[in-house]
Amino acid sequence: MYFDNAATTPLSNSMKDYIISLLDEFGNPSSIYSVGERAKSIIENSRDSVAKFINAESNNIYFTSGGSASNTLAVKGYYEKHNCSVLYSPTCHKSILECVKHLRRASPIKVDNAGNIDFNDLKEWLRSYSDDFLVVIEYANSEIGTVQDIKRISDLIHFYNAKVYVDCTGSVSQIPLDVKKMNIDMAGFSGHKLGALKGCGVLYKKSDISLEPIVYGSQEDGYIGGTENVIGIASIGKAVEEHNYSNISSSNRDYVGRFISENISGSYILGNPVCRLPYNLNVCFPGVEGESLVRIMDHADNIQISAGSACNSREIAPSPTLLAINVDNNDVHSCVRITFSGNESKGDLDKLCESLKRHVTILRNLKSR
C-alpha cells in the first residue's frame, strides 16, 4: 500500500491510455510541416489547460523539465537578470536551497516552529533595505504540510515593490492555485505530483517579469532551450483537466493522526495543526529511527511511507525543514511523512495504523536492549 503520494503519484488508467495514444506523435514542434504542427498543437492545448487550471493567461505559461527546473529558472534567472537580493524560506525545497547557495545576496526569512513565515521578519527585511528583492516561498511545505497565507504575504511584498516566486509543487495536487487572486508574480510546479509523467513541469510568470535563461535556445520564448518533451507536456494538460479539488478531504489524514496520538505513546505531529495540506501527516516517534521504520514497514507489510521529503530521504544529514522549525536534535531522525491519495479504504488505513504501532514498538524495544 502506497502512502507516499507527496513523492510522486501513480498514473491513472486514463492517463496511461492517453500516453499510449500519443506514442506515434514523434514530430519536432519547431518543424513547420504537418507532423511538427501536430506536436506544436498538443503543446499549445496543454498550455491552455494549465492556464485555465491556475487562472492565468496562456502566454504566461512555460513548460520546463520539472519542478526543480522551474525553481531554478525563476530564482536564478530573476537574480541574474535584475542583480537583486533574494529572501527565501529555510523550509524551501532542496533545489531552491542549493540554488541560493550560489547567489551572493541571499538571506533566509525566519519561520516559526510550525513552519509559518514570520511576517514581521519579512516586513523588517523589506522595510529596512533599499535592495530590489525577490522573495522565494512555498505555497505549502511538502514535508510537514504547513500552508502559507500567500495572498497576505504577496500583498506585503508588493507594498514594498518587491517580487515573489511561489513554489507550488508540494501543494498543487491538494489545494487550488489562483495566481491572479493571490497576486503572484511567478509560480512553478511539477507534473508528476499531479499524476502526469516525470520530467515535465510548469513555470508561470507575469508578462512584465524578465528572466535570464539557464539553458539557452529558442523554445518557450527563449527561456528554456531544447526540443520540448511533447508527451510529458501533454500529460500535464491531461492531468490538470482531470483533477478535481472538490473530492479532496482531510478525513483519512485525521483518522490516522487520531490513532497515532491515542495509541502510540510519545508521538507528536509536526506542522501547522490547522493550515496544513489535507493529505499530509508528518509524525515524530521519539526513540525510533525514521529510516528503519520506513524499511521495516516496506519489507514486512508492503506499506510505503517516507522518512521526510523524497529529495532528502536518502541523505544522512537531518532535514533542513526540521532544523528550521527547531525539532529537537534527538528527534530529528525520528520523523516520518505519510501522504494520502484520498482513495484509501478504511481497511487500508487500519492496516497502516496497525503496522505503525507494531513496528514502532518493535524498534523501541530493540533500542532499549
Distances in whole angstroms, Cα of residue 192 to Cα of each of 5, 47, 259: 10, 16, 30
State the distance between the two ends of the chain, measured CA to CA, in whole angstroms. 31
Cell of 213: 535563461
Distances in whole angstroms, Cα of residue 296 to Cα of each of 67, 206, 255, 265: 30, 47, 22, 19
Rounded Cα distance, 85 and 103, in Å = 9
Query: For the residues of 219-278, what is the DSSP string, one character each?
Result: SGGGTB-S---HHHHHHHHHHHHH--GGG--SHHHHHHHHHHHHHSTT-EE-S-SSSB-T
- Please, which residues bridge with residue 186 across strands? 165, 205
The DSSP H or E segment spanning 352 is helix 346-368
DSSP letter assigned to residue 10? P
Q: Active-site residues: which are they?
A: 311
**Residue where the block lists cell 510519545:** 266
Residue 282 · residue 170 · CB < 8 Å: no
